[in-house]
Chain A
Amino acid sequence: DGGITQSPKYLFRKEGQNVTLSCEQNLNHDAMYWYRQDPGQGLRLIYYSQIVNDFQKGDIAEGYSVSREKKESFPLTVTSAQKNPTAFYLCASSNKGSAGELFFGEGSRLTVL
């Protein structure tokens, strides 16, 4: 079935460690997104990519990095520079030009110990 796969679903990290969250889609969508979700703050955009080898910062990009080497993959690295990384991270993709709705993965919950 077509969809978006995020892994791992749960991740624990010690302070000072970098972690990478995986996001893979088999929908042949051009655009991919990473959002962070915190209680009471909704979804905040970290990075998004419209095409391969290109990506743009969202509203809270500091402390995060991404790559888009393949159309189907958009991994997110949470670096040690991110001050408060504990959150629920959601990956999404969209197609049909800029009017397309987003399709979301099931999310990855990161906890910093």
Chain B
Amino acid sequence: AQSVAQPEDQVNVAEGNPLTVKCTYSVSGNPYLFWYVQYPNRGLQFLLKYITGDNLVKGSYGFEAEFNKSQTSFHLKKPSALVSDSALYFCAVRDATGGFKTIFGAGTRLFVKA
């Protein structure tokens, strides 16, 4: 069975500092991994994904994520946080051999202080 864990309910960071939002996953096969962002009362927006290849994936708005197979992790990072990055972030996983079923984590709220 697929599962995703986001161990932090909230991450607080000062504007201009680097940020990391953590994600670990479990799948029986190879993973497809995704990060999404949600603003209040809106749908989710896609940020980036790992399918195969380079372990460091770059995405929208300056975000990047590092795939670590041995630690089954896919942490989201940004070198310099902006106040406008404050939102709810979701990690998601799909089993590459298991079709289209996509499972999300519980979400991490990022708060960037000016």
Contacts and interface: CB of A to CB of B under 8 A. Distances in A.
Interface of A: 4, 31, 33, 35, 40-45, 48, 50, 56, 58-59, 88, 90, 92, 94, 98-99, 101-107, 109
B46 A103 contact: yes
A101 B46 contact: yes
B105 A98 contact: no
B104 A42 contact: yes
Contact of B46 (A45, A58, A99, A102): A102
Interface of B: 6, 9, 32, 34, 36, 41-46, 49, 51, 90, 92, 94, 96, 98-107
B43 A48 contact: no
A4 B46 CA distance: 14
B43 A105 contact: yes
